[in-house]
Structure 1
């Protein structure tokens, strides 16, 4: 998954959720797992990518990332679960 703009949600080892933006989901998840990602995910590895959304523009993806980050834990779980239905 590259050449696009992606918003992703990770489930960390402590069962917390982390939302981020990237242009390469696999690389970014690997960085998080290696402790080289966001400060939040360091010490919360391993992480599992549980949700990905694709956007054509960086601004659209960044807007969606912000939107998801404003949601409550329960609302984030619904976003993740909606993909599995």
Structure 2
């Protein structure tokens, strides 16, 4: 039996200095898709340059809840908030 896929909440730094947050169950593939212009609409116009941080969650629902919380943080606290979250 295959283990269930883990989900990642990630924060990208884009070429224009902005940040983009999202979730995925394959972080490397998702970053490559964003970089190639096949990711979210936002990153098509603002390509990512690197992954600032990511955190693993056991399922999509918990990753989505964490993404919602992250997106409500002021920019100055987003990176610290994501890095300080306990393991799910």
Q: Which runs of 4+ in 1 moved over 2 A?
A: 77-83
TM-score by length of 2: 0.83
1:18 aligned partner:
20
1:59 aligned partner:
61
Aligned residues: 82
- In structure 2, runs of 5+ residues without a counterpart are none
- In structure 1, runs of 5+ residues without a counterpart are none
Give the RMSD, CA atoms, in angstroms.
Answer: 2.0
1:45 matches 2:47: yes
TM-score by length of 1: 0.85
Find the structure with the greater CA-based Rg: 2
Aligned residue among 71, 78, 81 for 2:80: 78
